[in-house]
Structure formats: C-alpha cells, structure tokens
Structure 1
Amino acid sequence: MTTEPGRPSTDGNGSARPPTLRTFTEPNRRGRPRSSGSLRCDRCHHNVARIRVRWPDGSICGACFTAATHTYGACAHCHTHRMTPGRSRAGEPICCDCARITTNLTCDRCGREAERHRRGLCARCALDDDLDELLQPGTDRQLRLLVNALASADRPESIISYLRGRRANDLLARIGNRQLALTHEALDALPRSTAAEHIRALLIHHGALPRRGSEPVARFRLWLTARLAQLPDDGTRSSIEQFATWRHLRRIRDKEKHANAVNLDTVTHAAKQEITEAGKFLVWLRTAYNVGPAGIQQAHVDEYFSEGATTRKHIRNYLHWLQRGKSHRQRTVDAPHRVAKSLPMVTQDQRLEMVRNCIELEQVVASTRIAGLIFLLWAQPLNRIVMLQQRHALRRVDGLYLQLGKTPTIVPEELAATFGTYFASPDNQRTGNTGTDWLFPGRKAGGHLHEATLGQRLKVLGIDPQRARNATLQDLTRQVDARSLIDLLGYSGQTITLHAGRAGAPMADYVTLRARATGG
C-alpha cells in the first residue's frame, strides 16, 4: 500500500493510529492490586500475602473483608436489614449473628455497623474528626457547609484519601487557618489546580458560594485575560482581543443561556484553539514579514500552512472574521477547509466485540460501560453523551427509552435492566457530587464527566471513538431511513447524508435533506 511522503501507513483502516482492539488486553479487576503470596482467600480464591480475618466460612483477605463490611441489605436467613458480611453455605449474604461472626464491626461512637477505621471509629466518624481539626468551622456558615458537604459523601473513605493529598490538605489547612477566604476572587488568585476547583465546585453545589454563571465560561474569561497579556502590543493583542470578543465571547454568551443543553467545555475549548492559533499566526507574520493583520496576503497564509502542523488550520475563522461582511467570492484571503481523505472505521465484527466488552467486562465501572453502549449502538458524540440527564431517560410501560433527538429511541430489551439499574444510581455520587441530574456525573460536584475523560476510559474497553462512530453511523444508515435517523439521533441532515452516501444506502429523500443541510 502506498502512502504520501512523510506519512505513516494507514494499514488500510483510514488512520495511522493503531486500532485499539489490536492491542486490547482485558482490564484488571477494580480496586487496589492484590499482593500475591502463599495464603489463599476462601472468598476470592486468590493467593494473597496476608489473611485479614478468619470467619466461619473461611479465611478472608483484606480486599474481601472491606467488600464484606460495605455490604448492607436483608439477611437471607433472618431477613433483618443490616450489614451482611457473612456467607451462607449457598453463598447468600447473611448478617453477623446468623454467620456467627464475632469480629467487632460496630463503631464505638455512633454505634453503626461498619468497618472500624481508626481507634474503634467507623470511617464516617473518623472523617468528622479530621474535618473538624483541619477546617475548624466553629459557627462559620460557609465552613460548616463545606464540612457537611465533605462529611456526607456516601463513601467517607474516599474523602479521607482525598485529605491525605498534599495539595488538598494544604489548601484546606489554609482555609481552616483563615488565610484563604472562601470567595471566587480568592480562589481565582490561586495557581490553577484540581484541588482548588474541586473545593469551588463543592461550595457552589452546596450553596456556600454563589453561582457566577457557567464555570467553563468563567474559566474561559480568566484564560483569555492571561492569554492576551502574553501577546505583543504591536497590533496583535488588539486584533486578537476584538476577535475573541466579537467572534467568540458573544457566541459563548448566547450558548450559556442553554447551558444544560450545550456542552460549554467543548465550545470554550474550540474558542481557545482558534484564539491561540490566530495569535501564533500574527506573531509569525510580524516576525517573518513585519506585517500586521491589515497586510495579510494569500501568499502569507499559503506559506504558513505549508511549513507547520495541522493545528494551523484553526486560523480559518480568524481570516473570515477579518473580512467580515464579504461573501466567499469577495474574500481576498482564505484558508482551505481540511477535508479528511479517508474514513477511519472498524469492521462490524470488531464493533460487536466492543459491544460484548461493554456487557461482559464487569470489572470496568458501570458509567464507562453504559456510555460505551450508547456510543456503539447510537453513535452519539462523546460531548453529547456526557450531557445526558435524567430527563433523557424515559421510563414507559413498553420499556426504557432514551431521548437523543426529537424522537425517543427504545433501549433494547436485553439491555433495559442494565441501563435502568445504572440510571437509578449513576457513578461518582459517593464523593460529593450528590443530588445531580447528570447521567454521567464527573468527580467535581455539580458537574458532568468531561468528554476527554470518557474518551480515555472507552479505550479500556477497546473502543476507538472515531473509528467506532463511523462504523456505527454507516451501519445505522443501512438499517434506518435518513429522515428517521435525524430525528432519532439528533444529527444534522448533512452528517447523515454523508454517511448514507458512503454506505451506499438508498435515499428517496436525499435531495431534500441535502438542500436543507446546505441551505439550498
């Protein structure tokens, strides 16, 4: 197979990236890695270095002990609702009394059945002590709300681990010592860090800090101020400031009005790319030719494109903005719109293997597997998947539906129970992100999962987002007419007609849809 000079072989799949499934290995079991040893756990049947406890049903390793002491429900023997760490001969979960477990699993302070975390206290009581010592809330309303937000996490062990982190501990200590005020201005003045943004999100989500519009937009404004300060004051800074204000900030403000329906992380990320690349272009232009924005010639643009990375294509909208008011034919300077020369995709057999991974690999967190199924079955872009809310999951008499476009689409009967169980209790709500309507909550309180994070997680299941999405869309266009797909999936007519044409699908309404897509 021949390739362009300097380009790696695509191996016939339309992309130089190696297919994810080719190097896919089954992910490890969740949780901390188990140390191997000569002792055998009677619960997980792994060889371990240390046995944590011996109960009537056998020797129990540390990981199984923790799992057992975090299991609550109705005892299979006495039907009492309590901790059920024991196992009957049939493998059913049973309470301490029915299992004849004598290990002390009661907190000395609150009396709750739980694993004793420290000095006879359960993890929640130990966390209360840690937060009071670190934050010293007293009667301060904001600090008390912050303490309550952290202390009320479903899994207090996770917050205890979070407090051990150096940055988080230092930040909370400064708050507790009253060296750092709990205001947006004080947090903005800090170096950008995950710890600071996590605290800000908790404070906002639990009412201790006022909302200031959308956080992605607020972060974009701060970024823009810093970016403009880095540009030379030779006409470059003023031109980029005007471009950012009139092209991007106005558009972002309009989209902010629909923040629950628009992924503002995606919008602001695209704006940052265009602003950054436009600034780089003007700096290059001034250095190479001592020319400012008013003196840009097509030859400059062609040379700039010929010798740099493909990210330089993002100056296209800046060039159009400079010539605002002019039609395509009137423009004297333009940048070519990059068109993919190939369509990377997986085979349908590989796609089915990915679906199988999502269903069978239970060691992968439920949110990743459910998002993977939505992606593989309905080709939803990742930035739309992370924006799905509880209102998009429609529970009807005839089954579970997802509202992805104008027309709800039914979840296959074989997967309805799996989807329904997850939607009833989404991931990431155990460490502060409680009370959220997002179907895929992020670790930050009140926020949804980031699309880049989801993309990385899908690779654990062997999913290459670009190839899999193309394969799914082509398969769907062969099975469903284009007009119905547009209503079901929420795609534009242009996207559907493109994939339908490549799939060779018959389209009686192709001309109408194409005219709508192009405005003809």
Structure 2
Amino acid sequence: MEQVLDDGTGVMNLAFAPLAVALAAKQPETVLGWLAKPHIRELLTALATGRLPLTHNGLAEYARPIAARYLRHELMACGILPTVDKHLLDTEQWLHRRLAELFDHPHEPLLRRFGLWHQLPRLRTTAAARPLRATAKPYATQQFTQAQAFLTWLHERRIAPAALTQADLDTWYAGARAHQRHGVHGFVTWAINNGHLPRHLVATRLTFKPCTVITQQRRLALLRRLIADDPADVGTRTAACLLLLYAQPLSRIQHLTTADIAEHDGDLLIRLGDPPAPVPEPFAALLRQLVADAGQPPALLFPGRLAGQPVAYQTLHRRLQKLGFSIKEARISALRQLVLQAPAPVVADALGFHPTTATRQVTNAGGTWSRYAPGDHTPSP
C-alpha cells in the first residue's frame, strides 16, 4: 500500500493515511484484488504524486470513470475529499461530456444555458437541502436530450426559436410520443419564461391517467409471505414491506439509517415524516433484525458497494422485481389504503409525502376524507 501511495520521495503521501486505515479494516482479499488492477495502481500513484489533482474535478478528468467513481466515494468516506452528492456529480459530468459533443450544434449556446444555468443550479439547490433521488440524473438527462431533439427539429425546418409559432409548437406535440412530450416540457416552459421562445406560446399541459393497483387481498398476502418465510434476504424483504405498508418510494427507502428507527415504551417507531410512524408486529421483528445487522449507528439499513453510500436504486429495484409484483402498483395501492383510513394531511405528515400527493390518491380511491371540514366534530350534548 505504501508503494502505491508513494509521493515520489520514497514515503507514503500522508494525505492518504486515512484511506490506508480504512482499507486495512476491509477484507484483505478484496483490497488486494482491487490493488492488483493496473489502472487502480496508476490512479492512486497519480494522485499521491500530484500528477492528478486530489480534487473532485481531478478525478473527473481520469480516463476510467468507473474506477475514479469508486475511489471518489472511498476518499469521501475517509474525509480526504469533501462530501458531494453522487447523483449531482454524475449529472454534472454527463452534461459537460454532452455539451462537448454538441460544439457544432446550431443551438449549442441555448442548450448550454439550459443545462448550466437552469438544470444544474436547481439540482445543486436541492442537493444542498437533501440527498438527490436516484431518478434525478435520468430525469435531467431526459430533459436535456429532448430539448436537443426539439431544437434539432426546429433547425431542420428552418424555424428560428424566436420565430416559433403556436401552430409549429402544436405540430411538434402532435407528432411526439408521450415520453418526448413529457421530457421537453421543462425546456419549453423555461425557454418561454426566459424569452428564448416567444412569450405568447402556451406549452401543452400534460395529463396522466391514474395508475392501476393491486387488490387489498393481494397486498396483505404479499406482506404475510415476506414476513413469514420468503427466501429473499432480510434487507430485500424489509424494503418490500416498507413499500407495501407505508407506500415509501425506493429513493427514500434506500437512504434509511438506524437513526430513523427508535424504541419507545416497548414499541418500535420509524421516522418517515413527523411524527414517527408505529411499526406493527410481526414486521417490527424483521426490522429489528435488519437494524441489528447494520452495525454501529448511525449506519445505512441498505448499504451499497460504494463506501458510505446506500444500495443503488436500480439494484434495489431489481431485487424487489424478483419478488413477483409490480412495484409501482403496490406502492400506489398502499397509499390509497392509507388515505382511506386517515385524513390525507395526517398521512402526508406522518409518511413524508407532499399533501397534494396524498389528496390526489383520496380522489383516485374514491375516499371522502377531503370533504370533512376542519374543526371539532364531536356531537353536542
């Protein structure tokens, strides 16, 4: 290890001492196998000698992004590099690569403004308040890709953005697929509001059909199977139960830690919103087992391969898919059952949902909670 991290004078670069300690605590076979890869040794030596800056930007310039990404998280976990949201970093790197490829695009300046002046600032603001969801990068890249396709369509028809008419915009929407209309909506709205497209234009409002759901009997049967004797590992079973019981999205489940679980007067509580929600038996026993396996608190309940990072969204998604039910349908079913049992604002606060999300599901489920007036409804004597 000392040889790989030699600063060029025959001794180990002291800046990497925390990394050496962290690697020494891991399985020796895993560390040795990692260090045996030539490009890993090359990367570590370049950083230790200063040929590659020991910064996030320096790692972004390395020719092997996957190797640099893994090392980046090890360095952040050790405190050698400042902690930065991984989804924000991945999106920034993708956007800069895409813009470099579009240097000769006729509308590259407009795409650059959209990506660097609109998309990235919004992501940075969100990341400063809370971890970005795993869907943040796919959503941003889809928006940018559809913006590029839309501007290419304008160029091919010799239509300048400033001369776009409502008829032209409606023609594009009429010929576009649903995912294209959805993806381009953010760009069109931004461009109109900022004067890059005529301000009198009206972007087509997007509408979505209510999601289909599984039956309550099917949901309860799945819960009984998962809690009792399903062959899946404890982590996968727990994640599935959190989805089926509390309607939690995977992007929130993956970030749960032991700090979100608490005991109070013999009852187990989970903090998904405010106040914490009670955990019923026998699911409480399964959750206690996962907490015990997580290690010294605060620890991630669903750790991933990267140091200090939760399991990847797509990895968790694939594991739940193998259980044999539709994740989206099951989650919406759970939320609809919850808002039929309690007022939507109460459910939203306790489980961390936006009030609009919970209220919409009251309507879709045919519930009546939203019709109750506020105040004391106790009958008068």
Distance 1:235 1:488, change over 3 A: same
Q: C-alpha separation between the residues in 2 aligned to 1:193 and 1:457?
A: 26
In the alignment, structure 1 residue 248 sits paired with structure 2 residue 116: no
Count of aligned pairs between the two proteins: 363
What is the deviation of 1:359?
A: 2.0
2:353 counterpart residue number = 491
2:24 counterpart residue number = 151
SS in 1 for 2:193: coil
**Matched AA of 1:242:** R
**Partners of 1:236 and 1:293 within 8 A in 2:** no
What is the deviation of 1:402?
A: 0.9
State the Cα deviation string for residues 420-470 of structure 1 (Å, max 9, x = none).
2212332xx8xxxx9764332221112122322221111122232111112
1:223 counterpart residue number = 94
State the Cα deviation string for residues 222-279 of structure 1 (Å, max 9, x = none).
22222222225465111122222333222222212213xx425433432222122111
Distance 1:171 1:268, change over 3 A: same
**Partners of 2:34 and 2:40 within 8 A in 1:** no
What is the deviation of 1:205?
A: 0.8
TM-score, reference length from structure 2: 0.84
In the alignment, structure 1 residue 275 sits paired with structure 2 residue 172: no
State the Cα deviation string for residues 495-514 of structure 1 (Å, max 9, x = none).
222221222222254688xx
In the alignment, structure 1 residue 476 sits paired with structure 2 residue 349: no
> Aligned to 1:337, which of 180, 197, 206?
206
**Partners of 1:346 and 1:471 within 8 A in 2:** yes
What is the deviation of 1:196?
A: 2.4
1:187 counterpart residue number = 59
2:187 counterpart residue number = 318
Distance 1:392 1:229, change over 3 A: same
SS in 1 for 2:262: strand
In the alignment, structure 1 residue 204 sits paired with structure 2 residue 102: no
**Matched AA of 1:461:** L
Structure number with the higher strand fraction is 1
2:109 counterpart residue number = 238
2:379 counterpart residue number = none
What is the deviation of 1:390?
A: 3.0
RMSD: 3.0
Q: C-alpha separation between the residues in 2 aligned to 1:139 and 1:239?
A: 47
What is the deviation of 1:143?
A: 4.6
**Partners of 1:134 and 1:176 within 8 A in 2:** yes
Q: State the identity as a percent.
A: 27
Q: C-alpha separation between the residues in 2 aligned to 1:150 and 1:368?
A: 27
What is the deviation of 1:412?
A: 0.5
**Matched AA of 1:284:** W
1:507 counterpart residue number = 369
TM-score, reference length from structure 1: 0.63
2:128 counterpart residue number = 257
Distance 1:232 1:181, change over 3 A: closer
For 1:370-381, list aligned pairs within 5 A. Answer: 370-381=238-249
1:392 counterpart residue number = 260
Q: C-alpha separation between the residues in 1 aligned to 2:144 and 2:160?
A: 16
2:301 counterpart residue number = 439
SS in 2 for 1:425: helix
SS in 2 for 1:417: helix
State the Cα deviation string for residues 82-124 of structure 1 (Å, max 9, x = none).
xxxxxxxxxxxxxxxxxxxxxxxxxxxxxxxxxxxxxxxxxxx
**Matched AA of 2:321:** K
What is the deviation of 1:373?
A: 0.8
**Partners of 1:202 and 1:445 within 8 A in 2:** yes
Gaps of 5+ in 1: 1-130, 513-520
2:378 counterpart residue number = none
Distance 1:470 1:136, change over 3 A: same
Q: C-alpha separation between the residues in 1 aligned to 2:158 and 2:115?
A: 23
What is the deviation of 1:363?
A: 4.0
What is the deviation of 1:380?
A: 0.8
**Partners of 1:235 and 1:292 within 8 A in 2:** no
**Matched AA of 1:410:** P
**Partners of 2:246 and 2:351 within 8 A in 1:** yes
State the Cα deviation string for residues 131-174 of structure 1 (Å, max 9, x = none).
56766795332454333322312x4454456557xxxx122231
Who wins on radius of gyration, i.e. which is larger?
Answer: 1
What is the deviation of 1:201?
A: 0.7
Q: C-alpha separation between the residues in 1 aligned to 2:128 and 2:238?
A: 29
SS in 2 for 1:333: coil
What is the deviation of 1:409?
A: 0.6
2:326 counterpart residue number = 464
Which segment is superposed worse, 404-413 or 184-193? Answer: 184-193
> Aligned to 1:298, which of 155, 166, 172?
166
State the Cα deviation string for residues 46-69 of structure 1 (Å, max 9, x = none).
xxxxxxxxxxxxxxxxxxxxxxxx
Q: C-alpha separation between the residues in 2 aligned to 1:453 and 1:187?
A: 25
Distance 1:455 1:206, change over 3 A: same
**Partners of 2:250 and 2:313 within 8 A in 1:** yes
**Partners of 2:303 and 2:309 within 8 A in 1:** yes
SS in 2 for 1:439: coil
**Partners of 1:478 and 1:500 within 8 A in 2:** yes
Structure number with the higher helix fraction is 2
**Partners of 1:256 and 1:264 within 8 A in 2:** no
SS in 2 for 1:461: coil
Q: C-alpha separation between the residues in 2 aligned to 1:224 and 1:502?
A: 38
